[in-house]
Amino acid sequence: MKTSVIGFPRIGRNRELKFASEKYFAGKISEAELLLTGRMQREFNLKTQKNAGIDFISSNDFSFYDNVLDTAFLFNAVPQRYKDLGLSTIDTYFAAARGYQGDKGNVKALAMKKWFNTNYHYIVPEIDDDTKIELVGTKPLDEFTEAKALGVDTKVALIGPFTFLKLARFTGKKSAEDFSSVLTTEYIKLINKLASSGASVIEFDEPYLVRDLNEKDITLFETIYKQILSGKGVLQIFLQTYFGDIRDIYKNVVSLDFDAIGIDFVEGRKSLELVKANGFPKGKILIAGVVNGKNIWKNNYGKTKKILDDLSSIVSEDALVVGTSCSLLHVPYTLESETKLPASYKAHFAFAEEKLIELSEIASSDSAAFAKNAELFANRPDVLDRAVKERVSGIREEDYTRLPVFEEREKIQKQLLGLPLFPTTTIGSFPQTEDVRRYRKDFKNGEISEAQYVAFNEEKIRACIKKQEEIGLDVLVHGEYERNDMVEYFGEHLSGYVFTEKAWVLSYGTRCVKPPIIWGDVSRKEPITVRWSVFAKSCTDKPVKGMLSGPVTILNWSFPREDISLLESTLQIALAIRDEVLDLEKNGIGIIQIDEAALREKLPLRKSDWYSEYLDWAIPAFRLVHSGVKPETQIHTHMCYSEFTDIIPAIDSMDADVITFEASRSDLLILDALKENNFKTEVGPGVYDIHSPRVPSVDEIVGQLKKIREKTEDSKLWINPDCGLKTRGEAETNAGLKNLVAAAKIIREEK
Ligand code: GLN
Ligand code: ZN
């Protein structure tokens, strides 16, 4: 069998592209130097894949910022305001990606959104009625030709026109349908140019096909591809899908004249069923995405072989290609960079480079490799923790319910806490200044003693509390100085996690994240945050809010295990955090916030899966964390996106007492939806956008609050920024919070 890879990470084994780009943004290197780094990165990727014996290697999977933005620039779907800056091509591109502020003007960046259900973010193309779609770029041609000169005959990977149109934002009257014909024509021009440059295979990536599709979508897709496929000549056209199955369009897709169809058998729950039930046309290639492009565990060859055997009874063996389930962009480069992980752990992981070996071994049915793989899975040196397993299976139905009910708790808490109307608070973190990061690092590296580190942190906390008192906030926080990241910090303090040194994964642009790995059963060794919260409380008479990360977020921002269910993992984490909640309560912390910043983000791509595949266990897991507290203890939660208009009942049934969320940039539509749904939880819609260094004025916040009050009961309204302040500077934070408190005073007095 042959092998195929959809895409390879591009940031660089040692994040070379990140550092070069950031130097270029800072004006420290020239455009030519940046381009050279890009070229070297591409060359490295091509050679790595070629040396691993991969048959179908992509070109054009590289990007200096984002492939969707590349596609927009390729076809001239670039808003005029960026062109008007009069910058070079690459700087116009970066202006659209990152915004521009300088002597040529001041424009905000295009919007950024999550790429399907990954932690990668793409730039949303903006198309208005005057946009003239036209092939103006040469990137795919250049990268194909460059690869060829390096001796690698690639398939040219393009984001398909259907997905591109579905992801674009149409700001005028026209819609996707109005642009589909001209866009198709321009894609065909590109295909012809590629063909004359010697390309023989073009891969259209159409991940949008795994979403819920309606008749109109299907018609749009068919119209586009009938036209593209009718003139393909000797070129081979591959259709590549990923992130799920294509149940709504499978039959249509297989009856079109594609030469190959790539299907995801990892996340595509129904993929195998679809192929079995509907068959697969003779003469076409099926690229079976069986090597997981999103997780870092070794492939279980035995299981994979079963899928391939099933498929080969339907598709002839020479028409079956072994592929990745999606681009390898979503996993780190290589285990070779991990010098601290013991070999016994590494044996169980496969990053991008190791996944190439897996593809070859699976494709060649290498019996020695299969035997070794089987042995590995038979002898997984798990840190199985029987106590954890027993605890999870001992969870009772009533453990998911907090009593008394919300309305009663609300009364008790209002009386006990005695907070003013419109209480003010923050989301938890305060600016992570240079000294904070330095102390944490020095402590980690053993350069300062624990006593020194603790003394430093306590000093920070004391000052932070004092500042908050001066500003006049009502519910104070300790500032989260001890945390690098809201998930890594908890991971480091829980058993069952392992950490990497260089396992970076691209999140957006040049920003990478390093998710911890859930290796074994998760449990809490000892209290994690209690000492800091208790110290903070000792510095003030005002209420101090304890700060925790929630189980769903901790899971979603880690590499999860594949040998147990996400539910089981989440419950293990939930029990660990539950212990922390109860310890905080026992130590006199009467308000506890459990952040679920990433809860919204893993909502399944198909609406029909939202509850059964996710919310039905994620929400109870959250409740399990706080159901054991006393009625007096006020539970807060925080979510980073206000885009939960369509799952409001689920959010309400998290049964927190207060929820804060981002609302300062959105249009407050969420508040209408809350009202319509009789949302019971008290709310703090963020009135201060902490993602920008801009300080909102008192008037602005008062204005915002006026609008909010039209839609929210006064007795349920909290006033707070829209997220943690850790990325902000101290001066702007103080100014912003002062204005926020002043605005609260004004509206209280108006009452
Ligand atoms: N408590 C965290 C903080 O304030 C929340 C971070 C987040 O929502 N991403 O930083
Ligand atoms: Zn947030």
Instruction: Report the candidate in 176, 276, 160 with the shortest Cα–Cα distance to residue 227.
Output: 160
Q: Closest ligand 1 atom, CA of 547?
A: 1
Rounded to 5 degrees, what angle do the CA atoms 734, 738, 744 make? Answer: 150
Ligand 2 centre and the CA of 18: distance in Å? 25
Express as a percent the part of the chain with pLDDT over 70.
Answer: 99
pLDDT score at 537: 98
Which of 595, 664, 728 maximizes ligand 1 atoms within 8 Å of its Cβ, making it the mutation to test the pocket? 595
Contacts of residue 90, defined as CB under 8 A and 6 or more positions apart, other chains included, come to: 31, 34, 64
Q: Is the pLDDT of residue 505 over 70?
A: yes
Best residue for ligand 1 mutational test, from 119, 425, 426, 429 (most atoms within 8 Å of Cβ): 429
Q: Which atom of ligand 1 is nearest to the CA of 639?
A: 8
Take residue 124 and report the two structure tokens written for it.
Answer: 């949303």
DSSP state of 349: B
User: What value does the mean pLDDT take over residues 677-693?
Assistant: 91
Mean pLDDT of the chain: 96
Instruction: Judge whether 473 and 425 are in contact, CB under 8 Å.
Output: yes
pLDDT digits (tens, 9 = 90+) for 649-675: 999 999 999 999 988 666 678 899 999
Is 550 close to ligand 1, i.e. is its CB under 6 Å away?
no
Exactly one of 330, 626, 636, 691 is catalytic; name it: 691
pLDDT category at 318 given cuts 50, 70, 90 is: confident
Ligand 2 center to residue 640 CA distance, Å? 4
Check whether the bond before 404 is cis (ω within 30° of 0).
yes
Q: Which two tokens stand for residue 327?
A: 């681009």
Cα–chain-centroid distance for residue 637?
19
pTM over 0.95: no
- State yes or no: is 330 an active-site residue: no
- Spatial CB neighbours of 649, under 8 Å, sequence gap ≥ 6: 677
Q: Tell me: the pLDDT tens digits for 406-454?
A: 999 999 999 999 999 999 999 999 999 999 999 999 999 999 999 999 9
Q: Is residue 119 scored above 80 in pLDDT?
A: yes
The per-residue pLDDT for 382 is: 65
Q: Is residue 713 packed enough to be buried (19+ CB in 10 Å), middle (13-18) or exposed (0-12)? A: exposed
Amino acid (one-letter) located at 713: E
**In residues, how long is the chain?**
751
Say whether pLDDT at 690 is over 90. no
- Helix, strand, coil shares of the chain as percentages rounded to 5? 45, 15, 40
Sheet holding 682-685, edge to edge: 545-549, 591-595, 634-639, 658-661, 682-685
User: Ligand 1: which residue has its CA nearest to atom 10?
Assistant: 724
Q: Kindly state if the Cβ of 486 falls inside 6 Å of ligand 1.
A: yes
The DSSP-derived string for 168-201 is SEE-SS--HHHHHHHHHHHHHHHHHHHHHTT--E
**From ligand 1's centre to the CA of 726, what distance in Å?**
8
Q: What is the pLDDT of residue 563?
A: 87
User: Is any ligand 1 atom within 6 A of the Cβ of residue 547?
Assistant: yes
Residue range 595-623: mean pLDDT, rounded: 94
Confidence (pLDDT) at 419: 98
Q: What is the pLDDT of residue 131?
A: 98
Instruction: Output the six-digit token pair for 354.
Output: 């190791």
Rounded to whole angstroms, the Cα distance separating 50 from 57 reads: 8
Question: What pLDDT is recorded for position 725?
Answer: 96
Question: For the residues of 271-316, what is the DSSP string, one character each?
Answer: HHHHHHHH---TT-EEEEEEE-SS--BPP-HHHHHHHHHHHHTTS-
pLDDT digits (tens, 9 = 90+) for 348-400: 999 999 999 999 999 999 999 999 999 999 887 666 899 999 999 999 999 99
The per-residue DSSP string of 689-745 comes to -TTSSPPPPHHHHHHHHHHHHHHS-GGGB-B--SS--TTS-HHHHHHHHHHHHHHHH
Q: Give the model's pLDDT for residue 644.
A: 85
Residue type, 69: L
- CA–CA separation, 684 vs 722, rounded Å? 8
Which of 16-30, 387-401, 577-591, 641-655 shows the lowest per-residue confidence on average (mean pLDDT)? Answer: 641-655
